[in-house]
Chains A and B, each alone.
Chain A
Amino acid sequence: MSDKTIEVNLVNQLGYERIAMACSASFARMMGLPPERIEDLKTMVSEAAINAMEHGNKGRPDARVTVSLDCRDNTINVTVMDEGDGIKEFPPKPDIEKIIEDLESPIGFGLFLISQLADQVEFNQVTDAGHVVKMAIKMNS
């Protein structure tokens, strides 16, 4: 962890992801990320935190979600950690045609958006402390 790392420890309750979004946006503004990419970062952080609350921590009210950000090598790095043991089965990329025809459930949008918006993403990093999703967004992308 560098001396410029910030960390936000969230209550495991839907809605609290917005605190992480706001902190991420402030941090990214300080680092000089362009406004349109700040919006992308906010969505990435929000969706990763929601997944951590709902799937990683399985909605447990006593669990926590930790979001960390740092800026190195012209890149903002984000980690979102929950107390679960990782994603066992990734949902398929959501196919809106099939969802509209009621052939698929409307799930998987969070992971899909993260993978579309991040310059780099690593799911399923399981450590002693918990399950971590790592995302990166380049300053000039």
Chain B
Amino acid sequence: MQQHSNQINMEQRGAITLFDIRGDLTSFSEPFLSEAYQNANEQGAAKILLKIEKEAYINSGGIAALIQILAQSKRNNQNIGITGVSDHFKKIFSMVGITRFADIHESVENALEVMS
């Protein structure tokens, strides 16, 4: 059944704070993403990379939760990247406009290179 929680491991990779997000992205993800973001923000993160599991189920509730993180990061002048998403969700993220506020990267390595 649907996971109602996420595990988000934060890792510093040079100037970039990597969120390794385990689990599906749904409306239940909002408090987990928000808590991780607040922690990173308090630690002065300037660049954040969201790594989503390739097989993660993402629905409109998860999209709304992601957009709330993008909104906060814009207010705080932070650069956000996303990696790990399937081709289908790259298309979905483009449709809803997420790609106007966050670049989608093919891999963590590619993202670290581009965002550094």
Cβ A100 vs Cβ B70 within 8 A: yes
- The verdict on A112 contacting B88 (CB below 8 Å), with A18-B2, A100-B67 known, is no
The A interface is mostly helix, strand or loop, or mixed, namely helix
A28 to B60, CA, bound (A): 22
B38 interface contact, C-beta 8 A? no
Give the interface segment out of B47-55, B89-97, B103-111: B89-97
Cβ A47 vs Cβ B101 within 8 A: no
What's the minimum C-beta distance from B88 to chain A, rounded to whole angstroms?
4
| A35, closest chain B residue (CB) | B88
Cβ A113 vs Cβ B70 within 8 A: no
B39 interface contact, C-beta 8 A? no
- A18, A100, A110, A113 — most chain B CB neighbours (10 Å): A100
Interface size class of B (residues with CB under 8 A): 20 to 34
A112 to B93, CA, bound (A): 12
A114 to B67, CA, bound (A): 19
B44 interface contact, C-beta 8 A? no
Q: How many A-B residue pairs have CB under 8 A?
A: 64
What's the minimum C-beta distance from B94 to chain A, rounded to whole angstroms?
10
What's the minimum C-beta distance from B90 to chain A, rounded to whole angstroms?
11
Chain A residues within 8 Å of B114, by CB? none
- The verdict on A36 contacting B61 (CB below 8 Å), with A15-B2, A94-B96, A106-B68 known, is no
Cβ A96 vs Cβ B98 within 8 A: yes
B83 interface contact, C-beta 8 A? no
A14 to B62, CA, bound (A): 13
What's the minimum C-beta distance from A95 to chain B, rounded to whole angstroms?
8
Residues of B with Cβ closer than 8 Å to A? 1-2, 4, 26-28, 57, 59-61, 63-64, 67-68, 70-71, 74, 86-88, 92, 95-98, 100-101
A-B interface, 7 closest residue pairs, ranked by CB to CB distance from nearest: A15-B2, A96-B97, A109-B60, A39-B88, A106-B64, A110-B60, A100-B71
